[in-house]
Amino acid sequence: MRRALGVLIGAAAVALLVLPQAGVTGEVGVVMVLLALISPASYGVEATYLAWRGPHRLHPFQVLLGATTLGLVATAPMALATGALAVPWPPGRAEAALIGSGVLNVLAYSGYVWLIQRAGSVFASLISYLVTGFGVLFARLLLGESYSPLVWASLALMIAAIALVQPLGAPAKNA
């Protein structure tokens, strides 16, 4: 019940963001907010699938290598056919930033897969709330953006939701 309440509080946090009084939907519209919800929904589906079918004793780096290889096989023919294949070597500033971003993505995603293995899918899928929260904080700190009190209340609800869905103790078992 505690974890279900956490999920509901997380949904309430999102609802606060789409209220017209929050000031978020005025410029971008509700359709764009709903489009943005595809990402957290995808996190939830992915975490549930990984917890259910599991990586079967694979290390998170092995899981990511397999996913990356499948992505390469799926996209390389199209990149070759359209002439869009770009090899970032020798790296200039932009290419070095792209390579660095790729390395950080490998570390972040492997950590996510590890978190699913250790804490379960419900807790891990709520990482999307942290991504949203840090996005709000970084936009405030780095870009000087300001937000309505409802946005800050939503952020507080997201933190409360994460606290409520924390794993109960034992690491999750893969099926």
| pLDDT, mean of each 10-residue run, the chain (175 residues) | 86 78 58 76 78 74 83 89 82 86 86 80 71 80 85 85 71 46
Please check whether residue 144 lies inside any domain of the structure: yes
Please check whether residue 75 lies inside any domain of the structure: no
The confidence score (pLDDT) of residue 47 equals 78
The confidence score (pLDDT) of residue 172 equals 47
Please check whether residue 79 lies inside any domain of the structure: no
| pTM (two decimals) | 0.56
Question: What count of other Cβ atoms lies within 10 Å of the Cβ of residue 69?
Answer: 10
Angle CA(34)–CA(40)–CA(46) in degrees, nearest 5? Answer: 135
CA atoms of 153 and 22, how far apart (whole Å): 10
SS3 state of residue 161: helix
CA atoms of 46 and 125, how far apart (whole Å): 8
Q: How many residues appear in the chain?
A: 175
Domain assignment of residue 9, given as a range:
2-69+89-164
Please check whether residue 84 lies inside any domain of the structure: no
Please check whether residue 74 lies inside any domain of the structure: no
